[in-house]
Structure 1
Amino acid sequence: MGKLRWRHFDFWLMAALILLLAMGLAMVYSATRNTEGLEDSTRRQAIFIAIGLALMLGLATVDYGLLEPITGAIYGLVIAALVAVLVIGRITHGAQRWIDLGFMLFQPSEFAKLGLVIFLARYFSENSDDIKSGRVFLVSLGATLLPMILIYLQPDLSTALLLGAIWLGMAAIAGVNMAYVGALGGLGLVAAPAVWYSLHDYQRLRVLAFLNPSADPQGTGYNVGQAMIAIGSGGWLGKGFASGTQSQLHFLRVRHTDFIFSVLAEEMGFVGALVLFALLGLLLWRLLRVAGVARDRFGELIAVGMAVYIFVQAAVNIAMNMALVPATGIPLPFISFGNNALLSLLLGLGLVQSVALRHRKLDFA
């Protein structure tokens, strides 16, 4: 690739990403040190950060437009992988979400997020002249519901709902008729009782614990309570790196994944949390900046889709840690331990950098 194109590589986006990954690696180390069975987590995370960054930079050199003819195939592979995990997937803690590849556990649902972003970007862009039609609404919704259902059957309700949020955000920005979305919301309210009784017992318990945390403080509500203690005790500047009480004394469970924000807030305090918010904000701003100068609608919607993906996932995770929403299995982007989530995000950002390198001929600052 020539020098001219690399001039337009988004270095602000890259800087925010590197700082987030460094912060995440430090928090994974703090959350897993002296924890039996998790001693290798930091090294594994570092390896996959290196692999992911290499893949991201490699993908940035490829014209994202080459994906347009094969978006259907990408979507088909995602569906095939989601079906396969229900047949041959490993069952862990009652959930069947992973396929053992030997060198890693492959989690198709994480890559379904990126696959859906790519598919919807192509579908909405090629139907931009008819974007307000009921057909576009129904086809895009149906294409989203299929992986949502397959992921729900694992069971993984939170990731299934995240796919719905990605569709909603991309549909709104693409210009889909929101009257249809409103009607869908009305149907959802009518169906809410049936949905409630279709939930697994542990899912209903999470909702009940959210509504009344004191009802089961030693059971379902335990970890949320510990997270609140961790966040509250961090104060302005925190207790110091690897010096948190709730994390280092192992009161806080799944602290290296779902509840890593609580570890960060306890050890780095309110100021550390603000730094995290600022870095995420910078990353999201640059994603929207790339969308604004994309050479075509497909590239614009890829960048928008990644912004929606990252924003919703981060917002839900942080809100869960602060007991603002029921506990879910949604990781904090770039911070939580998780090889599949990390690779999916970095591949998506590689596509965004490809869009940035091939932007319209405008000033790009």
Structure 2
Amino acid sequence: MNKTTVLSLLSLMAVVCFFPVATAAAVKVDMHGTTGLVLDWKDWKDPQEEGDGTTGETLLLDGEVNLDLKLTSTDQTNCLLSLLYQTGKAKVEVEEGYLEFNPNLNLLLRVGRQKVSWGTGFGWNPTNYLMPKKTEEKGVDLFKIRLSGKDLRGSLLVKPGTELKEAEAAVRIGRMLPDKDFSVSFYQGKKKNAVGFDFAVVAGNYVFYGEVASKSGLPLLIPEEPEIVPEGTYFQGVAGFYRFLPKNIFLVVEYFYENQQDYISIVTSKSFRTGEFTLSKSILWNLQDQSYMLNPSFRYLLGANAYLELSAELYKGKSGTVFGENPWRNHVVLEMVWFFK
């Protein structure tokens, strides 16, 4: 979506959101956010050259402020605006900013920048076609229509382009039964398309889930850098389960298949002293070339409104392997975050 369209949407959002505030008393206002400091260290394999898309710096200190504003009026019109300011970039970015209208329980209309969470996978979502690889990144400029019935739900997403032929669209139709969810989805863009299926089933203390998608013209999820788009059609699939174990232990086991590459992911986390301390560790292992990524992390709550978190990504693998080709050997992040309301 070009700048003119984005500015038009944001202007429309401001008019619809703030007009009810000035004319009606029954408007609920919710504002909250976070502010934090991030210390980022990367152990680069080779010195980074200027213009290669990376900073090349080993140690970076950055500050950021995130502000979320939500307005809900009595006519079922909602407005969400989520802003992110990072000192390193010295600019304000709109993570999310949309207008939403719910004329009844079965219909939702939304326009603007929004995040999409299609799929059931824990680490990967092959059927989340329109979102970036990492869900914590900013949203995508979309038009959304969602229809709901007794146990059926359908969604249409349209991502406009600078020209009509560059527009992208995705459709998802799902059925929700007690302890079971199933859906099929379709995606079409310029010289790229996909079709997928996902499910989730609750069985006792376990939640089993899976996704599979056939894609053409879309990039792989692994590796993250550099972005790779295979020639022709390829498949992605996820299957796994998660459950809470005794003594505050959370376990996720997941298998991921992508373009003739197999991966196993195991994630465990344990909380101590009623959640004051949380230790997490995970491994992502490529079964073909025996390369892997370790991801330990530690979080400590600093009262009710702040936390300190230390996390790392440790890559191991010979030259030519999936994780051995990563531009850095290790990546460590120390983050302190405060919540305000």
TM-score where L is the length of structure 2: 0.28
Bigger proportion of residues as strand: 2
Q: Please identify the structure whose Cα radius of gyration is greater.
A: 2
